[in-house]
Homo-oligomer: A and B are copies of this chain.
């Protein structure tokens, strides 16, 4: 009954993920003393473990059942490590000092170590995927990581551009966040022997829920207090990353446009920008759009037989937007 526990565990019961945590821990303990220390720190900081939970759930859509458990678990662990690698590098890009309520790797050990730790986690994850012996999965995950890098670069290039469009926002979010989640779902199912149509349906599910998940994250960045999300709020705005609530608010506020055009360079600009977005219908609008993506994700599950894992996946999609961190 790992399945139920993990999805139920997403918002509230992290200790239910004991099996996953154990596997994560041993996957990262490759004998190097220094990396063991960093890994222990990263694992202690926890996380929602959304991607491995989705891999394990989607693996139940295939016929291999318990026999495929070890394969699904290895993919699940690899996907979480891959995601962690991107977070470690993201925190350098963002100059972040706190993540999941803990100091970041770059804050604790410096940027040079953080670059190398990201590379190390990245290599470790892709090695684990390769060990599964399905080159197609390795190819697809490698391609996803290319799309992630492209999106991150795009985000840097387009920072503080008040003409950023919703279309661009969705393109970046899709590549930056949704594709990895989509690929976790598809590969989890295919490695468990599910047919291509199920794989495609789950890819679509993951893509849509991934977009919803990222929109929810972007809302939290504007709306929540620092304590709730485990990292400083308003971070995206400060970096000039224009998220959906901001793009929406921009359509009705010349003042916000002016602030962003001058790259929030004056004292109080960032605070004022957040105030404007909060007072606009940006958050409400973004929440509505996220809700539509959740419905789209649930609709993508139509091709699956009723029961498990369909029910848990639908619940996970709703969780993606109804969470406080």
Contacts and interface: CB of A to CB of B under 8 A. Distances in A.
Given A127-B142, A131-B139, A135-B133, A152 B116 contact: yes
Given A32-B150, A149-B123, A115 B89 contact: yes
A183 to B, nearest CB: 13
Interface residues of A, number: 41
Contacts of A145: 119-120, 122-123, 127
Most buried by B among A93, A111, A118, A138: A138
A241 B250 CA distance: 51
Contacts of A153: 32, 34-35, 113, 116-117, 120
A154 B112 CA distance: 12
A126 B141 CA distance: 10
Nearest to A86: B119
Contacts of A34: 150, 153-154, 157
A295 interface: no
The 3 A-B pairs at the shortest CB distance, nearest first, are namely A127-B142, A130-B138, A123-B145
Contact of A123 (B142, B156, B157): B142
A26 interface: no
Contacts of A157: 34
A92 interface: yes
A182 B293 CA distance: 48
A64 interface: no
15 contacts: A30-B146, A35-B150, A35-B153, A89-B116, A93-B116, A113-B156, A116-B149, A119-B145, A120-B153, A122-B145, A126-B126, A126-B142, A130-B130, A131-B135, A134-B135
A238 to B, nearest CB: 15
Nearest to A120: B149
B130 A142 contact: yes
Contacts of A116: 89, 93, 149, 152-153, 156
A100 interface: no
A56 B145 CA distance: 27
Contact of A115 (B93, B113, B124, B126): B93
